[in-house]
Structure 1
Amino acid sequence: MTKPNDLLPEGLEDRLPLEAARITAAMRACLDVMDAHGYDRVRPPLLEFEAALVGRMAGVTVGETSAMFRFVDPASLRTLALRSDMTPQVGRIASTSLASAPRPLRLAYCGDTVVIKASQLDPARERLQLGAELIGADSVAAAGEVVMLAVEAMKAAGLTGISVDFTLPDLVDTLAAKAFPLTPDQIEAVRRELDTKDAGGLKAAGGAAYLPLLYATGPLESALAALRAVDAGGALKSRLDALEAIAAAVGDAATITLDPTERHGFEYQSWFGFTLYAEGLRRAAGRGGTYRIAGSDEAATGFTLYLDRIAEVAPQPEAVRMVYLPKGHDRAAAARLRFEGWRTLAQLAEGEDPAALGCGYVLEGDTPVLLEGGA
């Protein structure tokens, strides 16, 4: 019977063995892919001084920074904050401890993040975040590498039906500068109406010239063709050529689509952003893009995968054979079995039931013997 003190806070939950095994397997698979591509893992602390952490989150929505848990450090009497995003921490590491490291710098990370309040669509307040950052490079080649790395990591985790949705976060700013001029007030209004896909509101905001952007969405080839038709004066040519080159780097590893005006989740991205999806997932598996590291203004390209979501559809790892070790067992034989990939479970008391404890074998001498009904 559950007692009141045993209940967990809203948005937090235990991960039981089967689910924890899926998350761990997905994490290992993704990190192995990043390591194989030369990305070194870093492990920032779970909490930092609030001022430093928030300062590194410049450009992130106010809602995200205000959702961080805060408390006073009894040692320094300064306010600390629990991280809600690991990307700014990686930027801090690149700008400080690794400031003199050769560029481009490739870093990977994985760790827990927490928020005070989550959304109705995603009520979890604790998330396992995994990602990679390519720092010191702002090029088509860098963007192509990062997108392909994200796709490979998702495939290694067992996901199928992967698709990538490209966006151009600075699209309105680029067009408003010359091709389709807007006042500062109009720019914000046009962005808002494009976000809501409201054609009438877009006209009322003075953005009639931006109407074709609402329909330049869908499969990359057709969406790019529609955008090139909009590209008054060649204002977008370099960006559209870049999208084609990035898609070519991905090839047939994933389906590529384009929604050029999508801004949700891309508040601090610069010229390129992308959202990752997979078969069976109702929500995005991850996001990424190009940006500038707050504080140093160094160019970077990266992505984040939401491991908890990915584990929902990732395959269950194959069960490892487990052998029961009776009292007085051959320790050398048990060590050899573990080296070969077996799991072992040592007897602690009389009357234990090896099968009930999950064992399919029992060690007899130096040989594992199949239990009746075992596997």
Structure 2
Amino acid sequence: MLHPALLPHGLRDLLPPDAQIEADTVERLMAILGHYGYDRVKPPLVEFESSLLEGPGVAMTHETFRLMDPISHRMIAVRADMTLQIARIATTRLVKAPRPLRLSYAGQVLRVRGSQLRPERQVGQVGAELIGAAAPEADAEVIAVAVEALTAVGVPGLSVDLTLPVLVPVILEALGVESRAAERIRAALDHKDAAAIAEIGGQAAGILGSLMAAAGPADRTLAQIQAIQLPERAAAEVAALAEIVRLIRRAAPDLMLTIDPVENRGFEYHTGVSFTIFARNIRGELGRGGRYIAGGYPAETGYIKREAVEPQPSTGFTLYTDTVLRALVFGPQPPRVFLPHGTEHAVGVEFRADGWITVAGLEPVADTAAEARRLGCSHVLADGKPAEI
């Protein structure tokens, strides 16, 4: 038999004081989002597969646990990402709410498998979505809000890496590159294989090689890619990126910005400027986000029968609480005082009002100091006052 403490790969218990620290951090992040007008919603842990994995949700198919609902006898899916649930809420339950619509959320997601950088399969998420806004100001806002929230909880050394996941597909389409060749090119770009790109030859090799080599600090990269002769639609995407960089600089002038114009992995359902947030000396990403389309679904899809949902330009971000916690430096916990058996309830009320954690004795003991020490207390109530042990 398995040991009762053994858990499936990628899952873990969060013990004291880490569980409380995570809960406090989540609430502090959510408070910042609320101050910016992002109203909190709470989607369910599971949904019908046909709604959770439709539209942009198709990109999460291989990450999603599915099972049969014993009540409806239909397939349901455990959410692997909350962004798509927020888009569903916005385009169904809140379809008549004024746009732009600002929503925030916090919760756990479960994925079929982890990655080398993130082996965890259950991950806490905190995020915000700005739905029904296409202007560059919307993209700049969500990045600025994410950075401010992380800064407020104490994450140092933040940097944001911007990317354009639609840029390469737009260029390949404009140059008439056929689909099988495009897949090989995409794989080469994902691995930053300059030699494989050079082997393509022709105009595509020149443009893509220059884009890949341009990755780096935002101002330098923008200057390099703006000097490349790009197809019209690709040039428009770069112009939008430049405006977003300008707006971010105005909101957060000290923020480190980099650009990787050919990065695509992890942004499969994004349709415009996207980003990843990092912190100095911290393994993994603190969060990511970007532009996508909410809605745009037909009136009938499989089991779903409803009014057609018009496509709505949207952008947002998701923060990963496990990485956020690794980036924080925590001070000492509030002091804990042991209240011997028989202490009046009002005494504990006063201590807690002053910020103490109280641990009440449930039965008489011969040595109250030893009992307090055994229960992890730093002080014990003696003669009406807290005495340090």
Query: Which of 161, 171, 175 is equivalent to 1:175?
Result: 171
Q: Give the 5 Å matches for 1:1-375.
A: 4-60=3-59, 64-178=60-174, 180-206=175-201, 207-210=204-207, 211-232=209-230, 235-251=233-249, 252-294=253-295, 295=297, 296=309, 297-351=311-365, 353-363=371-381, 367-371=384-388, 373=389
Unaligned runs of at least 5 residues, structure 2 = 298-308
Q: Contact (CA 8 Å) 1:273, 1:289: kept in 2 or not?
A: yes
Q: Contact (CA 8 Å) 1:72, 1:80: kept in 2 or not?
A: yes
Change (3 A) 1:67 1:240: closer
SS in 2 for 1:71: strand
> C-alpha separation between the residues in 2 aligned to 1:214 and 1:221?
15
Show CA shifts across 1:258-302 (max 9, x none).
100000111111121111100221211111100002433211100
Q: Which stretches of structure 1, 4 residues or longer, exceed 4 Å deviation after superposition?
A: 233-237
Q: Contact (CA 8 Å) 1:323, 1:344: kept in 2 or not?
A: yes
> C-alpha separation between the residues in 2 aligned to 1:242 and 1:363?
63
Q: Contact (CA 8 Å) 1:11, 1:118: kept in 2 or not?
A: yes
SS in 1 for 2:177: coil
Deviation at 1:237, TM superposition (A): 4.4
Q: Contact (CA 8 Å) 2:341, 2:364: kept in 1 or not?
A: no
Aligned length: 366
Show CA shifts across 1:20-64 (max 9, x none).
23322321221111111111111111111122211154351xxx4
Change (3 A) 1:97 1:229: same
- With normalisation by structure 2, the TM-score equals 0.87
> C-alpha separation between the residues in 1 aligned to 2:21 and 2:170?
43
Change (3 A) 1:368 1:237: farther
Deviation at 1:181, TM superposition (A): 4.5
For residue 242 of structure 1, what is the amino acid of its counterpart? A
Show CA shifts across 1:300-339 (max 9, x none).
1001111111112212253112222223323223223323
> C-alpha separation between the residues in 2 aligned to 1:129 and 1:292?
20
Moved more, 279-288 or 90-99: 279-288
> C-alpha separation between the residues in 2 aligned to 1:30 and 1:94?
22
Deviation at 1:358, TM superposition (A): 2.2
Change (3 A) 1:74 1:183: closer
> C-alpha separation between the residues in 2 aligned to 1:302 and 1:102?
17
Unaligned runs of at least 5 residues, structure 1 = none
For residue 376 of structure 2, what is the amino acid of its counterpart? G
Q: Contact (CA 8 Å) 2:130, 2:316: kept in 1 or not?
A: yes
Change (3 A) 1:183 1:67: closer
Moved more, 48-57 or 184-193: 184-193
> C-alpha separation between the residues in 1 aligned to 2:120 and 2:385?
43
Moved more, 17-26 or 150-159: 17-26
Q: Contact (CA 8 Å) 2:117, 2:283: kept in 1 or not?
A: no
- With normalisation by structure 1, the TM-score equals 0.90
Alignment root-mean-square deviation, CA: 2.2
> C-alpha separation between the residues in 2 aligned to 1:123 and 1:87?
21
SS in 1 for 2:373: coil
Q: Contact (CA 8 Å) 2:278, 2:287: kept in 1 or not?
A: yes
Moved more, 142-151 or 71-80: 71-80
